[in-house]
Structure 1
């Protein structure tokens, strides 16, 4: 399929995908070896359409292709079975998809401009736990009766029109969210927003030393020590401005927050 001939709404969705990434993988791996119809790029386009249209399963995807001649022309195939889709899904190397994602992120970074020159780009980090079959995913330790994976996601907010996934890490569900902080928080020219699951006073001290800006929710039992009262303009909406230190005893932070 030649993406340059796509003029439909769907074609505009997939146009930013760099199809040259696939041949690069084909030259060094068994990707698409002996494949005559359902190659990786066609498979990717099929599942992008399925995601956009919120299709319920493989048979729904199959029926869409069977009854849509325009979609058939765009893909270059007339039909596909649910079993073929399932086999391809099981065989596909996730690193190929990671390479495509990284390429799309690079394009977005190039086109997006920060919402503010003072705080730069805002990056939000959070995680989602996904339950999976214990028999098939024994490596994904979670609970006695089921397995689970955790998607740690970093989303970049450049401005209201540029919000996009920036980095993703998949781990077993059991490790705590904060175990991936070093992977997700690695730049000093952005402001990070995170939930209380990433709370770690030792890391916060490290961020202060490295000049990494961040905003985090605190736990209800957090110890907050006021160390200095700062002046506030009389015409300001701010009620109080206080310099504080978090934690106590050996967990007390070295750097105050303003």
Structure 2
């Protein structure tokens, strides 16, 4: 990251956005064809600002433009609610999704050499509730509506992880239906929870050369065929080779079943098709699944998706992809500055120095005293 720069902190933070790719999409989709004021680039910057400051509504976002520095930063002096709403509801979310994926590729390139031999990819989903009256297209119960964010997260090390693939569906979509979409890389270890249990798919993944680690339900039918030796100081309760399922519905492949205790003293059953790792290593791998829980918690608490700005399916998707872009930009800051700052702290420092020279913010990120 350029240390000697006249950019503002916002401009520096925004700089990884591939504007050439962005402009190509805008031109191809003719998004600015009849635009006189609110260009797509200004709209993007405005939405990123709104996420950083957790702006509650489009009305509040419009009022933020009274600030001269924001006007200069987004190249816009004022805007109406109707113009913001039309943009949000009418813009194809593929534009923001492409930017998100480009940022993911940048993170991957910068972390590829530092990742473990076989990286961990964590799969999970989270339901984002919606008001049924305004979002009937997303109904999944008689009185509820919502969308579900299916996510694949790359775990690098404690405190550093990033979303790699995201699929948005209505909340009634079952997690298992997305597993095949999320599993497409044989050079990694997939970690997921009980919502993705599917014995037939586990057999298929094993036959196709994919590695996985999942939690098994307590009532699962298990037939142990071999007990592996454990070290005397092992925290693992048992380590076995097993077949899973009943006589009528049993796995064709042998799997490895570990029984471990979590931090609250609860016994967990972990199922994997990896036999080459120690029981302790597998247990530690499953603990990394907590990273995706932290991500969803951060996303819901500190990015403004509690109150969506629009009612259409495109509006919801646009806001979610903007949230993912914000997180990826924070991760790139972590990597470039070798910072151990958490994403929440990055946001706080950035908001405090948003329109100040970038070197002030960067020195703070690196833990240096700002003169």
Give the TM-score of the pair, scaled to structure 2: 0.63
Q: CA offset at residue 83 of structure 1?
A: 2.5
**What does residue 228 of structure 1 align with?**
226
Superposition pairs for residues 30-45 of structure 1, below 5 Å? 30-45=30-45
CA distance, structure 2, for counterparts of residue 26 and residue 50 of structure 1: 21
Instruction: Quote the Cα distance in structure 2 between the aligned partners of 1:7 and 1:52.
Output: 18
Q: CA deviation at 1:161?
A: 5.5
Partner of 2:207 in structure 1?
209
Contact 2:176 2:196 in 1 (8 A): yes
Partner of 2:107: 108
1:126/1:195 contact within 8 Å kept: yes
Q: Deviations over 1:105-152 (max 9, x none)?
A: 1111111135422xx221111112223344554443412234322111
Q: Which has the higher helix share?
A: 2
Contact 2:139 2:145 in 1 (8 A): yes
Which region of structure 1 is more displaced relative to structure 2, 125-134 or 34-43?
125-134
Shift of 1:238: 4.5
Question: Any idea what the Cα deviations from partners look like across 1:66-120, whole Å, max 9, x if unmatched?
Answer: 12x2221121111222222111101111111111111111111111135422xx2
Deviates more, 1:155-164 or 1:13-22: 155-164
Q: Report what 1:24 is aligned to.
A: 24
> In structure 2, the residue corresponding to 1:54 is in which secondary structure?
coil
Unaligned runs of 5+ in 2: 257-371
Q: Partner residue of 1:47?
A: 47
- Contact 1:6/1:12, CA 8 A, preserved across alignment: no
Q: State the Cα distance separating 1:171 from its structure 2 match.
A: 1.4
**SS of residue in 1 equivalent to 2:79:** coil
Q: Comparing both chains, which one has the higher relative contact order based on Cα–Cα distances under 8 Å and sequence gaps of 6 or more?
A: 2
1:182, distance to aligned residue in structure 2 (A): 0.7
Matched residue, 2:252: 254
1:238 to 1:194, Cα distance in 2 relative to 1, 3 A: closer
Give the C-alpha shift of residue 185 in structure 1: 1.1
Task: Look up the SS of the partner of 2:54 in the other structure.
Answer: coil
Question: Which residue of 2 is the match for residue 125 of structure 1?
Answer: 123
* SS state at 1:249 partner: coil
> How much has 1:32 moved relative to structure 2?
1.6
When the two chains are superposed, the root-mean-square deviation of aligned CA atoms in Å is: 2.1
| Corresponding residue of 1:168 | 166
* Equivalences for residues 50-89 of structure 1 within 5 A: 50-67=50-67, 69-89=68-88
Q: How does the TM-score come out when normalised to structure 1?
A: 0.88
Contact 1:178 1:200 in 2 (8 A): yes
The runs of 5 or more residues in structure 1 that have no matched partner are none
Structure 2 CA distance for aligned equivalents of residues 223 and 72 of structure 1: 63
